[in-house]
Amino acid sequence: MPAEKRFATKYAVNDRGCWVWNAQSSKFRSCSFWFRKERMTAYRASYIMHKGEIPSGYVVRHKCDDPACVNPEHLELGTQKDNCADKVLRNRCNAKAGSAHSNTSLTEKDVLDMRASADSMKTLAAHYGVHYMTVYDIMKRRTWKHI
C-alpha cells in the first residue's frame, strides 16, 4: 500500500480540524510511522508528504498544540532551538490515549516535582490546575512513564 494511503487510514479528524493520529487505537499512542524506509514521527511524515522536504536544521512543530495532530495545516517548521519543546511534545504523544488530549500543560519538571512532593494528590491537582485523576495517573505511573 502506498505510504499516503496507509497514512490516511491512521487518523481521524476532530471538531477542531485536527487529524488525530491513531484515534481508534485504545492502546498506547504511538506517534511513529514508517515512511521511506525510516521510522519517524507521524507528523513529520505528514509534513514531508503534504508540504515537502524539511530543510536540515529544522524541526516540525505544532501550531495547534495537539501532539497527536498530523494535519499539515497545523504544522510548521521551527529551528533546532525549538527541538527541546518538540521533544516534550513527542513524549506527551507517547502518553496513554486520552491523556494526550487533556488540557494540561504539565512539563517533565512538574511531573518530577509532583512525584517528589509530600502533598496530597488533591493539593497537587489544585496547585497545578489539573484534574485529580491526572495526578493519580502520574503517581501510579500510568502516564509520564518515560521519566
Residue list 63-92, contact with Zn ion (CB under 5 A): 64, 66, 69, 71, 74
Nearest alpha carbon to residue 41 among 27, 22, 64: 22
- How distant is the alpha carbon of residue 67 from its chain centre? 3
Q: For residues 50 and 28, give the distance between their C-alpha atoms in angstroms, rounded to a whole number.
A: 26
Cα distance between residue 31 and residue 39, in whole Å:
10
Residue placing its CB nearer to Zn ion in the complex, 20 or 124: 20
Nearer to Zn ion, 94 or 117 (CB): 94
Q: Which stretch binds Zn ion (CB under 5 A): 22-30, 56-64, 91-99, 117-125?
A: 56-64
Looking at beta carbons only, is 66 or 86 nearer to Zn ion? 66
The residue written with cell numbers 491523556 in the block is 99
Residue 98 Cβ, how far from Zn ion at the closest point, in Å? 17
Binding flag, residue 18, Zn ion (CB under 5 A) = yes
Q: Which is nearer to Zn ion, 64 or 97 (CB)?
A: 64
CA 85 → CA 46, 67, 139, distances in Å? 19, 11, 23
Q: Using CB under 5 A, list all residues that contact Zn ion.
A: 18, 64, 66, 69, 71, 74
